[in-house]
Structures are given as structure tokens and as C-alpha cells.
Amino acid sequence: MEKALIALAAALAVGIPAVATAYAQAKIGSAGAGTVAEKPETGGTIIILEAIPETMVILGFVVAIMLILQFA
């Protein structure tokens, strides 16, 4: 039972940020595609903007690994 809970916690730690990141990246990506199509020179800025929300899911992944390694 305890293992199941830990697994669930790890899954949530990755899953929730993943959903949030996906939402944010979808919006930023679609705006970014529009901007880059018109102004290719903004490519660098757009990549950085697009990359910002990704940190959430990386941190979530680290937390999940920690949860599993520490408690399971």
C-alpha cells in the first residue's frame, strides 16, 4: 500500500507539472510560431520563452526520482 502511494506521489510529481508545462508551451509555441514566421530574427528569444515553462517538469522529474529512491 505504502509503495503504491509513493508511486502515485511520484507520478503526480511528474504528471501535474507536465500538464501545466504542456498548456503553457502550447500557448507560447503557437504565438512563437506566428512571430518567427514574420520575424525570423526573433528566433532566439522565442526559444528561450518556449523553454521557460519546461523547468517545471524537469524539477518534477527530479522530485519523483528522489521520492522513489528515498522512500521506495
Partner 1 sequence: MIPSQKFIGESPNYEYLNAVIRARGTRLLGREVFSRLASGSLEDMELFLLESRYGPRYREQLATGGGSLLGRIENALAWGAADILRETASLARGESLLFFSVILSLGDLHNGRILLRASPGGIRPKNSPAWHRYSLADLAFYDDLWKKSATPADGAVRCHEENHDFARILGESYRVLHETGDLFRAERALYSGWFGWWSERLRGRNNENSRRIEEYLGRLTDLWNFSIWLRPRKEAVSRDQAFLPGGWGFSQEALESLDDPDKLFAGSGWSFVPGKRGERTRSDLFRSFQRHFYEWQKSLYRQNLLGTDVSLGYAAQVVQEWKNLSLLAVGLSLKMPAADLERHLFLQEEGTV
Partner 2 sequence: MIRKMIRLALWGVTGKRREIIEELHRLGVLHLEQGSGPSAGESARLNTLRLLRGKTLGLLESLGWDEWTSLSEESINDTEKLLSSLPADELAPEIGKSLEEFGKRLSSLLDERTASEELLLRAKKARDILDRFSAFFRREDGGPQGKTTLWLISENTVQQALAALHGAFSSRGEAWDGRHHFVPGKDFMGVLGLRVSPELEGEASEILSRWKALPWSLPEFCSGVRVEDALAILGKKSETLSERLETISGDLRRASGEWGPRLAALFLFIDARTEQAAVEARLDPSADTFTLHGWIPEDALEATVSALKGRFGDDVLLQWRHPGEKEWSTVPTSLNNRPLCAPFELFLKLLRPPSYSGIDPTTAVALFFPFFSGCMIGDMGYGALILLLSLKLKKAVRPMLRDIGSILLSVSLWSIVWGAAWGEFFGDAGHRLFHLEPLWVERSVSVLPVVVFTVALGAAHVFFGLLLGIYQGVRNSHRHLWMEKAGNLAVLLALVAGLVVLKAEMPRGVFTVPFSLLVIGLALLIAGGGIGGIIETLGSIGNIISYVRIAAIGLSSAILALVASKFLDVFGLSVFGIFLALMIHLLNFVLAIGGSALHSARLHYVEFFGKFYSGNGKEYTPFQRRSGSSWKKHS
Residue (of 72, 64, 57) closest to 9 by Cα position: 64
Q: Please give the residues from 4 up to 33 whose contact with partner 2 meets the rule CB under 8 A.
A: none
Chain residues 34-63 in contact with partner 2, contact rule CB under 8 A: 40-41, 43-44, 47-48, 51, 54-55, 58-59, 61-62
Applying the rule CB under 8 A, the residues between 30 and 59 that interact with partner 1 are 30-35, 37-39, 42
Angstrom CA distances, 13 to 23, 24, 27, 53, stand at 16, 17, 22, 15
Stretch that binds partner 1, among 1-9, 22-30, 48-56, 63-71 (CB under 8 A): 22-30
Rounded distance, CA 38 to CA 44, Å? 14
The answer to whether residue 23 forms part of the interface with partner 1 (CB under 8 A) is no
